[in-house]
Amino acid sequence: MIPALLLALQLAAAPSGFSEAKALADANEAALSSEMMSRLMAAQGELLGEAVGKCAGPGMDFSPLAIVFVLNEDGSVARTWRQGDTPLATCLEREFAAATFSGRWPAPFYTSIELSLAGH
């Protein structure tokens, strides 16, 4: 009963769009200890490397993009929001949505990845 009530409260307070989710991610990341930030950066880097390897290809549109995701306590991704409509952005969002960050995370934990690869 209690877990269902907590989930309902989280969903009721869920951001309605990318901008709200990004603001929550920025606030979460700004409040992290240096140890937790290092852990987050390592986990994001690992997942980003894997996802770019699956998604990027010759001649792709590398326009700037951002993806916000909210993590469950076990590191699984509960939801994503994307800014950018290129095939790369869509693919990366799909890969992140299926990913699991190693370790335990405060839930819900909002975080984001922003990429600007244009010109590379």
Averaged over successive runs of 10 residues, the pLDDT of the chain (120 residues) comes to 44 77 94 93 93 90 93 95 95 95 90 79
Give the pTM: 0.82
Q: Does domain 17-115 have CATH number 3.30.70?
A: no
Residue ranges of the domains in the chain? 17-115
Q: Which residues of 49-78 are buried (b: 16+ CB within 10 A; e: fewer)?
A: eebeeebeeeeeebeebbbbbbbbeebebb
